[in-house]
Structure formats: C-alpha cells, structure tokens
Amino acid sequence: MTRHAIVTGASRGIGRAIALGLAERGYDLALNDIAAQDGDLGETAAMIEALGRRCVRVLADVSQLEDCRRAVREAVEGLGHIDVLVNNAGILRLAMIEEMTPETWDQTFAVNTRGVFQMTQAVIGHMKERRYGRIVNIASLAARTGGPGQAHYSASKSAVVGFTRVSSMEFAGHGITVNAVCPGIILTEMGKNNLRDPERVAYFEKITDVHRLGQPEDVVGPVAFFASDDSAFVTGQALNVDGGIFYS
C-alpha cells in the first residue's frame, strides 16, 4: 500500500528535501506552504511528479487554526488518506532580547510552535480512525543550545521537543508515533542566518565532528526513518542531526 505524507513548509530548503526524499521512497505527497511561496511550491510539486508520484498542493498558514484544518481536509480529499505528517514550517528572524518586540516573539511561536500543535490537532482524528500514523516534528539544535539573537527561536523549538514527548504519550495507544528531528547548521536560506561571515562558517565547520556544514538532504534519512514502519517501536524521541556538534 502506498503511504501518503503531508509536509509543511515544503517550498524550499529542508521541507523540499524531505518531500523529495519521501517521494523517492514511494510516498505520495501533500505539499503545504503559505501563498507567498506558491511559485517555489509549484517547483517542488513538479519535481515530485517527475518522480512518478502523486502530489497535491495545499496553500495554508500553519499559524492559523482554520487554515490547518482546511489543509488536512484538502490533503485527505486529494490523496485519500494521510499516514505521515511532517511539521517542518518555521521562521527565524534574529533579534537580541533587549531589542525584541512582543510581536516578533509571538509570531515566532505562532508558526514554530502553535503551527505544530494545530497541524497535529487537525490530523490526529483521521490518524486515530485509521489506527496508524507517523508524526515527525522538525525542531532544531537551538532547542538544545541556541545562540545570541535566537532566544525566541530557541524557546519555540524547545517547546516543540516538549510537545513531541507528551503527544507521543497521548497517541501511542492508537498506533501513532511522534518524534522530532533537531537539525544543526544546515545550508538553507534560514540557516544562513547563522553564517553571516566566513569566520562563522569556519567556526561551525571546526566544532562539527564531520568538519562540514549540513545540507538539506542530510535531514531526509532520519525523517524517513521516523516516517516508516522501521521506527514502530520508537516514539517520543528528539534526534540531533548536526554532524556531532551536541551530545545528549
């Protein structure tokens, strides 16, 4: 039976890599992003269709509850059912604590944390009816150890790890696992916020055991594992995918 997955924030970066990686592994996809990213989302969809997989696009803002409910409805209507939810959508706008506005704090949590909650809440009834589900939340190494200008981002991703743990407790009896992946320094548009000069690049290359920065494709394998039946006895975990920066 073909598995079906919905990936949020799938227009580029890690989200696009995950969507393509799942398609290469035989999944049909529902791709989500905001309307402003529709062009890039269309490119992702074309790549997936070129691989011979079915694909539907769902424009929705995960910070908005009704958008999340509609996104899941459209995904189910387009694919027939959803087996996997990958909560990848996220934002990072650097701001030092003394200068940060409440609006910046709230917007970060609205997308990074509330979006995970709302998409999970929207899909969980469908998964419980089918007695099967895999939820993979994309957190961040910032949940373990952030950096200056990332207090809001670090806090939001720490909350995702906590949410993962408790939701795994609530859903495990229904055949549903919930796990998180914590990427380190990944070369995406958002990740480049940490790479403002050559010295920063050299620093992260030095402290990473494999002595290189991550590519979006480096995140795919761990997500695919959590999305598969191979991980049926793994739930409530948060896996660092950082080349060996942090150990816990």
Domain boundaries, the chain: 4-241
> Could you tell me which residues come within 8 angstroms of residue 190 by beta carbon, excluding any fewer than 6 positions away?
13, 90, 91, 92
185 or 216: whose pLDDT is higher?
A: 216
Determine the pLDDT at residue 170: 98
User: How far is Cα 29 from Cα 63, in angstroms, rounded to an integer?
Assistant: 21
Residue 221 confidence (pLDDT): 98
Whether 222 has a pLDDT exceeding 70, the answer reads yes
In the structure, what pLDDT confidence band is assigned to residue 192 with cuts at 50, 70 and 90?
low
Per-residue model confidence (pLDDT) at position 74? 98
pLDDT of residue 92: 94
Of the pLDDT bands very low, low, confident and very high (cuts 50, 70, 90), residue 220 is: very high
pLDDT in tens, 133-184: 999 999 999 999 888 999 999 999 999 999 999 999 999 999 999 999 999 9
> Which of 27, 132, 153, 203 is labelled catalytic?
153
Q: Is 247 a catalytic residue?
A: no
Residue type, 50: A
- Give the dihedral sign, CA 203/11/83/162: positive
* CATH class belonging to 4-241: alpha beta
Structure tokens at 2: 């073909």
